């Protein structure tokens, strides 16, 4: 197998040797100093707008926040540390359905571990999952039992990170879901589970609707549970049912806030992703676009760059943004919104296999248990957390790992024999 090193501006599928499409090749990342020098030059050359005429984030990312982010990015952030973290893990490339897919594959030392594919979303990347690798693959080092171990596969979505950028249409959640099953089977896993948040949750949920025989169940930290009548009432401003519980009413308030104040980025990428040339060309423009995903995540990030200590650090945030910059995936990552023609994002999708749900309070919507039970008839776990938000694995890795262990524990009895030993890559 040929070692692959990603270089700036190169599509991951370009200039590769001829090979069998089932090949799995080791992958390492290293960008030349010139790419990092150019990044700092562009940050320092930013043309700044005037200060917002309000004292809150109601007009978007505030000038003080983004200027401090840019200062730290240009002077203190060390991308080489992030490269070292990535390269310390086993990374690979494989071609599926004509597209190169990058993935991290960490096998537990516990051979009866449950295979699990974990998928990030937008505006995230595999960097979101780095903190959960050891807790999930090596649970005995984190106060948990060996019986809770996982073999982890963490892929980069098409158009994200080091995966290839599709040059034709059609890479929506359903195609990605089928590709993930192929990836797991290619690694030798004949029975496995799937986990995801944001678009990763959509992919896992669609895997659940497709229900391939290899898939034992799924765990979601962004579940798809909002009843259609509730969704319609919130969007149109008509009366909600009078018998809503306190949790259901709070979820409706969160959904209403999202529709009124946070949906803009999704609408733009769903309709005109190619128009976003500015964020492909400006590091600071890209940073502002990526951190303005939802109000509670932005508030956390603003506090971090305001000097407070939170679940995320400045380097966490900038590692992720720098990955988008160096891989030139600002536009390609947004196309999944355009590709998603089939699935309403919040609506239940009739998943009939076992599902575990973890509801974090600062997610866009904290799913009530009642909605989760209605959406997922085979709900095997519901965890209502008191801390954590949209980037749960990244922000609260201990809580997240505990939830994944608890949520998927009922599947282990159904794991049985793998049938064949997984291929070790």
Which residue of the set 174, 198, 294, 315 is catalytic?
198
- Residue 386 falls in the annotated catalytic set: no
Could you give the CA distance from residue 337 to residue 393 in angstroms, rounded to a whole number?
22
> Would you say 188 and 420 are in contact if contact means Cβ atoms under 8 Å apart?
yes
302-340 burial string, b = 16+ CB within 10 Å, else e? Answer: bebbeeeebbbebbbbbbbbbbbbbbebbbbbbbbbebb
CB atoms within 10 A of CB 424: 10
Active site residue 142: no
Q: Would you say 210 and 180 are in contact if contact means Cβ atoms under 8 Å apart? A: no
Residue with tokens 């990092």: 36
- From the list 31, 189, 265, 337, the catalytic residue is 337
Tokens of 328: 């030139």
Q: State the pairing for strand pair 215-220/150-155.
A: unpaired
| Chain-centroid distance, C-alpha 303 | 22
Residue 337 is among the residues annotated as catalytic for this protein: yes
> In this structure, what DSSP letter does residue 221 have?
S
Omega within 30 of 0 (cis) for the link into 114: no
Q: Beta-strand (E) ranges in 86-175? A: 91-96, 99-106, 114-119, 150-155
Could you tell me the two tokens for 96? Answer: 């599926």
User: Which of these, 163, 214, 101, lies nearest to 329 by C-alpha position?
Assistant: 163
Interior/surface letters 193-225, b for 16+ CB within 10 angstroms, e for the rest? bbbbbbbbbbbbbbbbbeebebbbbbbbbbbbb
Tokens of 188: 């030798």
Count the neighbouring beta carbons within 10 Å of the beta carbon of residue 412. Answer: 16
From the CB of residue 407, how many other CB atoms can be counted at a distance below 10 Å?
26
Which residue from 173, 185, 89 is spatially nearest to 132, judged by alpha carbons? Answer: 89
**CA-to-CA distance for 44 and 40, rounded, in angstroms?**
6
Tokens, residue 140: 């005995």
- How far apart CA 332 and CA 151 sit, in angstroms, is 29
Cα(416)–Cα(296) distance, integer angstroms: 41
User: Which amino acids are annotated catalytic?
Assistant: 198, 337, 390
């Amino acid at each position: 197998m040929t070692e692959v090193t990603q270089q700036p501006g190169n599509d991951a599928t370009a200039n590769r040797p001829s090979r069998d499409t089932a090949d799995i090749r080791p992958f390492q990342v290293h960008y030349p100093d010139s790419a990092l020098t150019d990044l700092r030059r562009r940050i320092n050359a930013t043309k700044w707008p005037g200060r917002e005429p309000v004292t809150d984030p109601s007009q978007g990312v505030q000038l003080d926040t983004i200027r401090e982010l840019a200062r730290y990015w240009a002077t203190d952030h060390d991308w080489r540390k992030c490269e070292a973290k990535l390269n310390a893990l086993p990374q690979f490339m494989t071609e599926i359905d004509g597209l190169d897919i990058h993935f991290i594959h960490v096998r537990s030392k516990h051979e009866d571990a449950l295979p699990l594919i974990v998928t990030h979303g937008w505006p995230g990347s595999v960097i979101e999952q780095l903190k959960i690798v050891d807790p999930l693959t090596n649970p005995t080092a984190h106060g948990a039992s060996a019986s809770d171990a996982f073999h982890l596969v963490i892929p980069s979505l098409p158009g994200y990170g080091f995966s290839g950028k599709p040059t034709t249409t059609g890479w929506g959640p359903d195609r990605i879901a089928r590709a993930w099953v192929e990836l797991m089977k290619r690694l030798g896993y004949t029975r496995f589970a799937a986990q995801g948040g944001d678009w990763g949750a959509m992919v896992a949920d669609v895997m659940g609707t497709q229900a391939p025989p290899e898939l034992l169940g799924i765990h979601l930290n962004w579940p798809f549970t909002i009843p259609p009548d509730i969704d319609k009432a919130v969007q149109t401003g008509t009366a909600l049912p009078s018998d809503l519980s306190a949790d259901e009413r709070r979820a409706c308030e969160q959904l209403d806030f999202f529709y009124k104040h946070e949906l803009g980025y999704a609408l733009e990428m769903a309709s005109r992703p190619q128009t976003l040339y500015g964020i492909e060309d400006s590091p600071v423009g890209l940073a502002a676009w990526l951190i303005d995903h939802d109000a509670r995540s932005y508030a956390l990030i603003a506090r971090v760059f305001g000097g407070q200590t939170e679940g995320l650090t400045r380097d966490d945030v900038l590692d992720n943004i720098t990955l988008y910059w160096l891989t030139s995936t600002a536009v390609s990552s947004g196309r999944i919104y355009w590709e998603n023609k089939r699935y309403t994002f919040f609506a239940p999708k009739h998943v009939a296999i076992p599902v575990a749900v973890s509801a974090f309070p600062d997610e866009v919507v904290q799913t009530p248990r009642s909605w989760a039970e209605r959406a997922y008839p085979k709900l095997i776990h519901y965890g209502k957390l008191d801390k954590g938000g949209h980037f749960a694995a990244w922000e609260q890795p201990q809580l997240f790992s505990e939830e994944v262990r608890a949520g998927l524990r009922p599947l282990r009895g159904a794991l049985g024999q793998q049938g064949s030993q997984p291929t070790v890559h």
